[in-house]
Chain A
Amino acid sequence: MSAIDFWLGRQRDTAADLPGADLPWLVRLREDAIDRFADEGWPTTRRENWRHTSLAFMAQQALAVRETVAPEAVVADLRARYRAALGTAQDPARKAVESAGDDGHWVVFVDGHFAPALSAIGGLPGGVRIGSLADALGQTPEAVEAAFGQAGDGEAPAALNAALAADGAWIRLGRGVAVEPPIHLVFLTATVADQHLRNLVVTEPGAQATIVEHYPAGAAGSTLTTAVTRVLAAQDSHVTHLKLQQEAPEAIHLATIEAEQARGAVFASHSLSFGARLARNDIRTRLAGEGAEVLLNGLYHADGRRHVDHHTRIDHARPQGTSREFYRGLIDGSARGVFTGRILVAQDAQRTDAMQRCDNLLLSRLAEADARPELEIYADDVKCAHGATVGQLDEDALFYLRSRGVDAVHARQLLTYAFAAEVLDRIAHAPLRAFGRAALLERLPDGARLEELL
Chain B
Amino acid sequence: MLKINNLHAAIDGKAILKGLNLEVADGEVHAIMGPNGSGKSTLAQVLAGRETFTVTDGSVDWNGADLLALPAEERARAGLFLAFQYPVEIPGVSNAYFLKAAVNAVRRHRGLPEYDAMDFLARVKAEMKAVGMKEEFLYRSVNEGFSGGEKKRNEVLQMALLEPRLAVLDETDSGLDIDALKIVAEGVNRLRSPARSMIVITHYQRLLDYIVPDKVHVLSQGRIVRSGGRELALELEEHGYGWIDAAQGDKAGGASAGARP
A and B from one complex: yes
Q: How far is the CA of A404 from the CA of B48 in the complex (A)?
A: 10
A108 to chain B, nearest CB (A): 34
**Contact A404–B162 (Cβ < 8 Å):** yes
Judge whether B138 is part of the interface by a CB distance below 8 angstroms. no
**Contact A422–B92 (Cβ < 8 Å):** yes
Q: How far is the CA of A417 from the CA of B49 in the complex (A)?
A: 25
| Contact of A402 with B49 at beta-carbon distance under 8 Å, contacts A415-B93, A453-B100 already known | yes
Chain B residues 75 to 116 lying within 8 A of chain A, measured CB to CB, are 75-77, 82, 84, 87-93, 97-98, 100-102, 105-106, 109
**Contact B106–A405 (Cβ < 8 Å):** yes
Among the listed A394, A404, A421, A454, which residue makes an inter-chain contact with B102, where contact means beta carbons less than 8 Å apart?
A404
Contact with A along B153-166 (1 / 0, CB 8 A): 00000100010000
Q: How far is the CA of A419 from the CA of B102 in the complex (A)?
A: 19
Judge whether B73 is part of the interface by a CB distance below 8 angstroms. yes
Taking CB atoms, residues of chain A closer than 8 Å to B90 are 397, 400-401, 415, 418
Q: How far is the CA of A454 from the CA of B141 in the complex (A)?
A: 13
Contact with B along A398-415 (1 / 0, CB 8 A): 011111111110110011
Judge whether A396 is part of the interface by a CB distance below 8 angstroms. yes
Judge whether B251 is part of the interface by a CB distance below 8 angstroms. no
Q: How far is the CA of A401 from the CA of B87 in the complex (A)?
A: 11
Taking CB atoms, residues of chain B closer than 8 Å to A399 are 50-51, 72, 88
Q: DSSP majority for the A interface? A: helix
**Contact A404–B88 (Cβ < 8 Å):** no
Judge whether B249 is part of the interface by a CB distance below 8 angstroms. no
Judge whether B229 is part of the interface by a CB distance below 8 angstroms. no
Among the listed A397, A406, A408, which residue makes an inter-chain contact with B88, where contact means beta carbons less than 8 Å apart?
A397
Interface centre among A396, A402, A404 (most CB of B within 10 A): A404
**Contact B101–A414 (Cβ < 8 Å):** yes
Taking CB atoms, residues of chain A closer than 8 Å to B109 are 405
Q: How far is the CA of A421 from the CA of B100 in the complex (A)?
A: 19
**Contact A406–B102 (Cβ < 8 Å):** yes
B195 to chain A, nearest CB (A): 18
Q: Residues on A close to B: CB < 8 A? A: 394-397, 399-408, 410-411, 414-415, 417-419, 421-422, 453-454
Seed contacts A404-B102, A406-B73, A410-B101; 9 additional CB < 8 Å A-B pairs:
A399-B50, A401-B98, A401-B102, A402-B76, A406-B101, A408-B73, A414-B101, A415-B90, A422-B92
16 contacts between A and B (CB under 8 A): A399-B51, A400-B84, A401-B102, A402-B71, A402-B72, A403-B49, A403-B72, A404-B76, A404-B98, A405-B102, A405-B105, A406-B102, A418-B92, A419-B92, A453-B100, A454-B97
* A-B CB proximity, top 6 nearest: A418-B92, A404-B102, A405-B105, A405-B76, A400-B88, A402-B72
